[in-house]
Structure 1
């Protein structure tokens, strides 16, 4: 059985398998440079293999977030632009007519996750009551070349 165990940006999968399958499994993942495999033996009858597959911090992650609460009229967009630029992110931020703020963040996995955490707090005058995260992947979610403030939608 496979048990995913998240650890920071690393996912550990603990796999119990018979000894004859370990070399097959090892060979099948050896071409993946971000995977690491370690073999542990509790006892000869119950070998355990652990594979750690870390998120490559240089790979690009793009996500769209919607922040709810008292987030308009408190310089949330300017704060977002400053923080996103500090983290080296591409994308945009804009107000929505429903009173929320929407943003698209694109950059390294760690930087996008850090920005997500910062958005949960926001600037000092903001009161964030909710944050929704949507993974992105199409042309409609193009982050552009820098980080900018967009008009209200």
Structure 2
């Protein structure tokens, strides 16, 4: 390699990439409801079963996190973007509307936390939603495989 040769740079990791990594994490290590990570997993377990948002956090940081505010600022922004994209997808395709006893709408958007924790939810539904949210992001932000 000559001194003037520029090695190829890596493509940036997109929010869609992170959502797909989170889906893959859940396929490999298991899905969980109620908390970010399975409470019956040992504290030193590097790959505990996780909820959708916990899996996104692991995809962003590369390891288990007990609190996402501990991430550096850039990673926190990336984490919030990926969760926001999942939320937008859920709002459009799989909304949950909570209505109080008087019939009034309590929640106008689908929280990925409450959606994940719905007693009727399945691991496959969560994994599929992460993958479809990633596909939707790609559809809106890429042209012929390249970022817009």
* TM-score under structure 2 length normalisation: 0.27
Structure number having the greater strand percentage: 1
Structure number having the greater helix percentage: 2
Compare CA radii of gyration and give the structure with the larger one.
Answer: 1
